[in-house]
């Protein structure tokens, strides 16, 4: 009889537990694809992740989803709030159907890696990993150079903007592959992609048949190879050695004469190009920023403009080509009343904190009236990113805290101040725990946790939060009020814009 009674008590306890926590009886399974997901630079990509519970229906308050990239939180979802890094989002309308896939916009090289989809259906938590591979398609440019003194022709194939770094370059002459082209090693561009040079040299005899040269580039990002072709013409300027000696003497005489003319007469000629300083907008992370240089007072209308950049601590000039990161829009040339010309050289840059802080850009100009290349430089450019601030109220019956998330700021120095007023007491500063971490795009994220030490007290209490950063003309301020008779109310926002439109005063009632 005693054994029977104990058995009944055990069954009753289990039933009570099931009634109080029905979700604990449900199995949880997280499902992701077994194969890596591939995305092109600049595109949007979906990282699929689904979950299944053994016994529906779903109880939303017990469900939470966390996406992580390494140790960085990409997206954090619960029934009460969602926090995500810029460019990452999840379709919340699909969550109840078991779809918690992560969407990333404007993919960059640094997004490549392993992502973890962590689903918690309290108290059970399961996770699966999914791999993202990023690719960038190459750009191919072919050039030719006649070597007068060696009587040879050099053809060069520049392949740039590709990722990953393995690429195959094959040369053909009249559709027949060449066995011994010169292959350079892939070099890293500042945006994380690669560039490589390959060249072949033809003798004068080989050019007499006007061969069709072809540079073929194969890369995993391409559905089919890129083929650049060029018909080589014999250089008619090649001469016998005796004529070359005569030509050298003539050239020396002409050069000396031109130098004299340049020194004594060309100083006052008004129609050689004049360059303004390079003007740039504020160097803000995630923005498209233009560099503008005005070139004026030149004639004829024959101008060659090139853009270069250099890395911090490195004087090497790296050519800038049109790509996902850079745009070189066409120039608008204006003819002035005195028949000289004016144009504005423009370079558009997609700025990122991890690749562009401390870089320097150069604009170089060549013109027939100038013997030297004209150049203007920006000086070192430093990236800033304006912080975004969100506040939540979390905890349990024993301990509750205010959590401020300051996201996406650069550089990493930010100042946070908490204070509070309870009842009629005067304002006092509150201690907080601050945790700062870096994002994959080079910006920073800070969590500031301020404990509500009298959360059990139902008297009205007001917290004040101020966030200061060098990108802000005035601090971002938030006022959080815990009302006596309210556990939660909708967020109310009062805007108080200044010039940079980032000074906000927010009133939150909880």
The encoded tokens of residue 115 equal 């992502």
Lowest mean pLDDT among 8-12, 37-41, 172-176, 363-367: 8-12
Distance of alpha carbon 277 from alpha carbon 375, whole angstroms: 10
Q: Which CATH number fits domain 24-135: 2.60.40.420, 2.60.40.10, 3.30.390.30, 3.40.1280.10?
A: 2.60.40.10
Residue 168 has pLDDT above 90, yes or no: yes
pLDDT, one tens digit per residue, over 49-58 is: 999 998 888 8
Query: What pLDDT is attached to residue 235?
Result: 54
Tokens 């050289």 correspond to what residue? 345
Q: Are 474 and 498 in contact (CB under 8 A)?
A: yes
Strand partners, 309: 318, 361
DSSP per-residue codes, 438-460 = E-TTS-EEEEEEEEETTTT--S-
Lowest mean pLDDT among 19-33, 267-281, 308-322, 420-434: 19-33
388-509 folds as Immunoglobulin-like (2.60.40)
Give the pLDDT mean for 72-98: 90
DSSP per-residue codes, 355-397 = HHTTBEEEEEEE-TT-SS-EEEE---B--BB--EEEEEEEE-S
pLDDT, one tens digit per residue, over 221-244 is: 999 999 988 887 765 544 444 555
**Torsion angle, alpha carbons of 392, 396, 398, 400, to 10:** 0
pLDDT, one tens digit per residue, over 417-470 is: 998 877 666 666 778 889 888 887 888 999 998 887 765 666 677 888 999 999
Tokens 């233009």 correspond to what residue? 290
Query: What pLDDT is attached to residue 378?
Result: 94
Of these ranges, 147-151, 180-184, 353-357, 381-385, the one predicted with the greatest mean pLDDT is 381-385
CATH architecture under which domain 269-377 falls: Sandwich (2.60)
The encoded tokens of residue 313 equal 């601590």
Query: What pLDDT is attached to residue 398?
Result: 66
Please name the residues in contact with 20: beta carbons below 8 A apart, sequence gap of 6 or more: none
Query: What pLDDT is attached to residue 4?
Result: 56
> Are the folds of 269-377 and 388-509 the same?
yes
Distance of alpha carbon 165 from alpha carbon 361, whole angstroms: 25
Which is it for the CA torsion 403, 404, 410, 413, positive or negative?
negative
139-231 folds as Immunoglobulin-like (2.60.40)
The encoded tokens of residue 373 equal 């290349």
Query: What pLDDT is attached to residue 46?
Result: 96
Residue 274 has pLDDT above 50, yes or no: yes
Residue 138 has pLDDT above 50, yes or no: yes
Query: What pLDDT is attached to residue 424?
Result: 67
pLDDT, one tens digit per residue, over 302-346 is: 888 999 999 888 888 888 888 888 888 877 889 999 999 999 999
Give the pLDDT mean for 88-102: 93
Please name the residues in contact with 162: beta carbons below 8 A apart, sequence gap of 6 or more: 136, 137, 138, 193, 194, 195, 219, 221
Q: What are phi and psi of 366, to 5 degrees?
A: -120, 140
Query: What pLDDT is attached to residue 355?
Result: 86
Band of pLDDT at residue 270, cut at 50, 70 and 90: low
Please, what is the average pLDDT of the chain?
82
Of these ranges, 94-98, 210-214, 260-264, the one predicted with the greatest mean pLDDT is 94-98
Query: What pLDDT is attached to residue 420?
Result: 84
Domain ranges of the chain: 24-135, 139-231, 240-267, 269-377, 388-509
Distance of alpha carbon 201 from alpha carbon 216, whole angstroms: 16
């Amino acid at each position: 009889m005693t054994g029977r009674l104990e058995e009944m008590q055990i069954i009753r306890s289990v039933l009570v537990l099931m009634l109080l926590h029905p979700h604990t009886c449900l199995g949880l399974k997280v499902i992701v694809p077994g194969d890596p997901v591939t995305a092109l630079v600049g595109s949007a990509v979906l990282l699929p992740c689904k979950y299944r519970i053994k016994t529906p229906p779903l109880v939303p308050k017990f469900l939470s989803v966390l996406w992580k990239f390494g140790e960085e939180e990409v997206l954090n979802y619960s029934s009460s709030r969602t926090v995500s890094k810029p460019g990452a989002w999840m379709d919340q309308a699909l969550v109840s159907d078991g779809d918690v896939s992560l969407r990333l916009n404007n993919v960059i090289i640094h997004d490549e890696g392993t992502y973890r989809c962590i689903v918690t259906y309290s108290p059970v938590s399961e996770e699966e990993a999914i791999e993202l591979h990023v690719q960038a398609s190459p750009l191919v440019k072919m050039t030719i150079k006649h070597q007068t003194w060696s009587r040879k022709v050099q053809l060069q194939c520049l392949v740039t903007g590709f990722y990953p770094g393995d690429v195959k370059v094959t040369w053909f002459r009249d559709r027949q592959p060449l066995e011994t082209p010169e292959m350079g090693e892939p070099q890293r561009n500042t945006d994380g992609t690669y560039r490589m040079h390959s060249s072949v040299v033809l003798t004068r005899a080989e050019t007499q048949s006007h061969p069709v040269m072809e540079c073929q580039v194969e890369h995993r990002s391409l559905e089919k190879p890129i083929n650049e072709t060029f018909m080589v013409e014999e250089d008619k300027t090649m001469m016998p050695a005796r004529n070359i000696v005569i030509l050298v003497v003539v050239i020396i005489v002409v050069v000396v004469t031109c130098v004299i003319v340049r020194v004594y007469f060309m100083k006052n000629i008004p129609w050689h190009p004049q360059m303004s300083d390079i003007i740039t907008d504020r160097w803000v992370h995630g923005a498209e920023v233009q560099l503008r240089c005005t070139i004026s007072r030149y004639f004829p209308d024959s101008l060659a403009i090139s853009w270069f950049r250099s890395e911090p601590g490195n004087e090497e000039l790296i050519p800038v080509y049109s790509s996902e990161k850079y745009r070189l829009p066409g120039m608008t040339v204006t003819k002035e009343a005195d028949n000289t010309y004016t144009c504005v050289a423009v370079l558009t840059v997609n700025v990122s904190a991890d690749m562009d802080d401390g870089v320097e850009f150069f604009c170089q100009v060549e013109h027939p009236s100038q013997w030297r290349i004209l150049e203007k430089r920006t000086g070192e450019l430093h990236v800033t990113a304006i912080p975004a601030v969100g506040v939540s109220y979390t905890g349990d019956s024993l301990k509750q805290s205010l959590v401020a998330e300051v996201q996406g700021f650069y550089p990493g120095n930010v100042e946070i101040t908490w204070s509070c007023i309870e009842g009629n007491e005067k304002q006092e500063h509150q201690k907080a725990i601050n945790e700062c971490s870096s994002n994959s795009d080079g910006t920073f994220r800070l969590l500031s946790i301020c404990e509500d030490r009298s959360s059990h007290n139902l008297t009205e209490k007001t917290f004040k939060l101020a966030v200061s950063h060098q990108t802000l003309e005035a601090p971002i301020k938030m006022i959080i009020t815990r009302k006596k008779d309210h556990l939660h109310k909708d967020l109310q926002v009062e805007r108080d814009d200044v010039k940079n439109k980032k000074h906000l005063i927010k009133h939150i009632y909880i």
